[in-house]
Amino acid sequence: MTSTKIDQATDRWRDLRRFIRARLDRKSELGLRLTINVILFAAAIWAFAGLLEEVLDNATLVEWDVCLNAWAHGHTTTSGLQVFHFVTLVGSPGVWAITALFALWLFWRKERFLFWAWIASNVGGGVLQLVLKGTIHRNRPQYAAAYLHGQSYSFPSGHTMSATICWSLMVVCAGLSLGWHGRRRARLYVVSTTIVFLICLSRLYLGVHYPSDVVGGLIIGTAWVVLCTTAIRIVDSSEAERERATLRTVSGER
């Protein structure tokens, strides 16, 4: 090898090492956090695509869906139906009421960027949900008519998807606004995850969704949350840096 080729190979190796170090940097929003989020997003999309393929092919998964739906219907009780009917209302219309109230809270705190990011993320998730339902056209389970008002498709579960997006992004936006990290934010995640789990369970207990509908809503909702969270944190950190630079400039002029 000539010295030129050796130098080129050395430069490529240095660039690769520099790129890897940057992707694993824990302090940068474009570092380890972004790398993990890209992996999570890709995994969620891959899992959703596999699940959707099974649903559309009417494969073994669909048979399990029907059996589990019938089993759940056969084990319901009057008190259980009342409890989970209340829980499912937290998913809708409760989510949209919470979305509006949290938007007002962000506006009151003068968090302009988080305010618009919060609205765009939830509305965008709602539009994505409608597009998926309208494209896939999966019919509801046979026991769903007793609890549904109007016609809507089954896959993915709208309640599950909306709840996943709303409650997860609320933790992100609240944490950024209040500056909460570590245990405080972990407690918020525990609460939000519990609420989402109960809403998922309510949709199965009431018989208005197949298990794969709920899993699909959870997966694609998580993918949307990861995508929105990544964008919010990158832009928010950029805005914060610009604000600090402005303050330093103003202080220097004084």
7 is a domain residue: no
The reported pLDDT for the residue numbered 251 is 46
User: Residue 31: helix, strand or coil by DSSP?
Assistant: coil
The reported pLDDT for the residue numbered 248 is 44
Contact 212, 65 (CB under 8 A): yes
Q: How many CA atoms lie within 13 A of 132 on its CB side?
A: 23
196 is a domain residue: yes
Alpha-carbon span 214 to 206, nearest angstrom: 12
118 is a domain residue: yes
Phi, psi of 148 (to 5 degrees): -105, 145
Give the structural domain span for 187. Answer: 36-237
The reported pLDDT for the residue numbered 81 is 85
Q: How many CA atoms lie within 13 A of 48 on its CB side?
A: 22
23 is a domain residue: no
47 is a domain residue: yes
pLDDT in tens, 7-47: 455 556 565 556 566 555 556 556 667 778 888 899 999 99
Phi, psi of 59 (to 5 degrees): -85, -165
Alpha-carbon span 59 to 232, nearest angstrom: 39
Alpha-carbon span 247 to 119, nearest angstrom: 29
Instruction: Return the exposure string of 70-84: e unless at least 16 CB atoms fall within 10 Å of the residue's CB, then b.
Output: eebbeeeeeeebeeb
The reported pLDDT for the residue numbered 235 is 80
Alpha-carbon span 121 to 113, nearest angstrom: 12
Residue-wise DSSP of 81-136 = HHHHHHHHHHHTTHHHHHHHHHHHHHHHTT-HHHHHHHHHHHHHHHHHHHHHHHHH
Cβ-proximal residues to 125 (8 Å cutoff; 6+ apart), any chain = 161, 162, 165, 221, 224, 228
The reported pLDDT for the residue numbered 25 is 55
242 is a domain residue: no
Alpha-carbon span 27 to 251, nearest angstrom: 26
116 is a domain residue: yes
Total domain count, the chain: 1
What Rg value do the Cα atoms of the chain yield, rounded?
A: 23
The reported pLDDT for the residue numbered 18 is 61
pLDDT in tens, 118-143: 999 999 999 999 999 989 888 888 77
The reported pLDDT for the residue numbered 19 is 52
Question: In 10 A of CB 29, how many CB atoms?
Answer: 17
Distances (CA, A) of 192 to 11, 70, 94, 168, 214: 47, 29, 14, 6, 17
Q: Residue ranges of the chain with pLDDT lower than 70?
A: 1-32, 145-146, 149-150, 237-254
Question: In 10 A of CB 36, how many CB atoms?
Answer: 13
24 is a domain residue: no
What letter represents residue 87's amino acid? V
The reported pLDDT for the residue numbered 241 is 52
pTM here is: 0.82
Tokens 């056969």 locate to: 74
